[in-house]
Structure 1
């Protein structure tokens, strides 16, 4: 594996959002004044317009690139190296912050914006990600339907639409017409927690061959 400087989904300093004027589309919701065909996904939802200059400048850790996150979630790619996420009979592998106290059987039913991972990148993530060092859980997920988006919800304003709040919305929610999306959501179902030591030992065994 090549040296990983920053996760695939990380935004780099040269990838600033392209200035775009958000306008109301009467009877539809929001759009861009100079909207292009690629600005919406297959469900008709409007997306942020970041520049795409991967590895140009410096990585902005903690800031996720919307288009790379969307690609990794759609194709179930590892969020760190962009290779295929690990998958076995128990499901696709996710590495998440530990919020087991949030509800019984967490993360069952969770609306997740974090793409999955491969086994080699588990150790890298645990070592380099400050958030995961505060507590991490590996999860096998049998079903992860693409369910909606996270983004800025707009409201009508005096001079045009105004961003009101960040929200998670399902694709069948009528309010999604007023969202500029920044992340794709998968709903995690059929979740099984996996000991982190099992994954690190599995990786070490492969490396030792």
Structure 2
């Protein structure tokens, strides 16, 4: 049996829906789900072969309390969930539009969202992040943006964070083996989800854009900088 080829438009600012069921999803293991998502998008032709048009985005804060709307795990009509952290993929829709000097709209792939898959970044921010909603400071969200090729090489998780104090699983893990980084590291998830407001970018500029293509942990931006960042990549 052959694996279906995934295709995304080269130049449309309107996202072409993908079949979300084609992608592996284990509840509460969003970081591993996105890791596999990136690899499948690359292998299936829906992204650059090396993943150069893909970015992994960790959404979290110091308190590990980040409200996001339109989440499948929610029991509420508005779909709100208070995650300790969440991970999504953002794809830059490049090539034809960029060659013409036109603006392109990044696409968000969130395997836990009830929104269209993928969704244009502005729509995702408005519906899922809801920046106009007044939040207490403890719920202020930060976004660690990591270039997918670096993430695929560097990320590792032995799933220790999903066990309680006596070693029982908080949530059942995937059946496949834990992800090990190319350098042999077995766990570094904590490095991606630990954030401090002091580390967030003060402004979005060329230097920050350059950093995301070289730094293992990417760059950290606030929610009012997220769309600006991807407009400059």
The TM-score bracket by the shorter chain reads 0.3 to 0.5
Q: TM-score with structure 2 length normalisation?
A: 0.31
Higher share of residues assigned helix? 2
More strand as a share of residues? 1
Indicate the structure (1 or 2) with the bigger Cα radius of gyration.
1
TM-score relative to the length of structure 1: 0.34
